Structure 1
């Protein structure tokens, strides 16, 4: 028996990831992306070393901030600088770092739970 999670109306799930991008909500996105429950945008970050507060500005300037930011760090797990983590926490955002593969799965789980989540995903091949 196939079990399909109930995705809240109007939300987009991350369907797949490849070395050069993602398929989200039925659309193909090349390169790294920022993902909200209803919108995906290109993210000009090619490696983990480029993840800075300035790189996260589109997320931080959004009308509704997420409670959780799932940060896909590429093929290898990395942790963000504790100072950046603290600055995001001061804005009410908890950052969960994990490989991009794990971040895609985690975003979808939190989305189905109807949580205020966003994802910053570094393309695996970048």
Structure 2
């Protein structure tokens, strides 16, 4: 079997996470956050829709990490995102980080919204 190193180009993968924080591109960030084409920014959680809608036209899919466990997303979040053409996938934050990294390495048009574990 041949193993290849993953190349992320200019994008920043999620390197780690723990109680209340994420490590992305060598930087430790506390609290909820969004990782997208324009970088990393703080996020106020599932009710904070505007920064997610601002990703319109830049991404095809948004992965939402709901914390330590998977949880359903409210229609007030998924409905407006679907309406502007952004697909939404909810999963536990650790799974969202892994999925984001794999698809990021493939050059996909994705973003990540995370609640801490």
TM-score normalised by structure 2 residue count:
0.88
Counterpart in the other structure of 1:70: 63
Asked whether the 8 Å contact 1:12–1:38 carries over to 2, the reply is no
Counterpart in the other structure of 2:83: 90
- Is 2:115 the partner of 1:122? yes
Secondary structure of 2:28 counterpart: strand
Q: Larger deviation: 21-30 or 75-84?
A: 75-84
Following superposition, which runs of at least 4 residues in structure 1 exceed 6 angstroms of deviation?
none
Counterpart in the other structure of 2:7: 6
Task: Provide the rounded CA distance (Å) in 2 between the counterparts of 1:23 and 1:64.
Answer: 27
**CA deviation map 1:26-45 (0-9, x unaligned):** 11101111111451111123
Counterpart in the other structure of 2:74: 81
Q: Which has the higher strand share?
A: 2
Task: Provide the rounded CA distance (Å) in 1 between the counterparts of 2:21 and 2:37.
Answer: 18
RMSD of aligned Cα (Å): 1.8
How far off its partner does 1:100 sit? 0.3
Distance change >3 Å, CA 66–CA 119, structure 1 → 2: same
Task: Provide the rounded CA distance (Å) in 2 between the counterparts of 1:114 and 1:22.
Answer: 22
Asked whether the 8 Å contact 1:71–1:119 carries over to 2, the reply is yes
Asked whether the 8 Å contact 1:11–1:38 carries over to 2, the reply is no
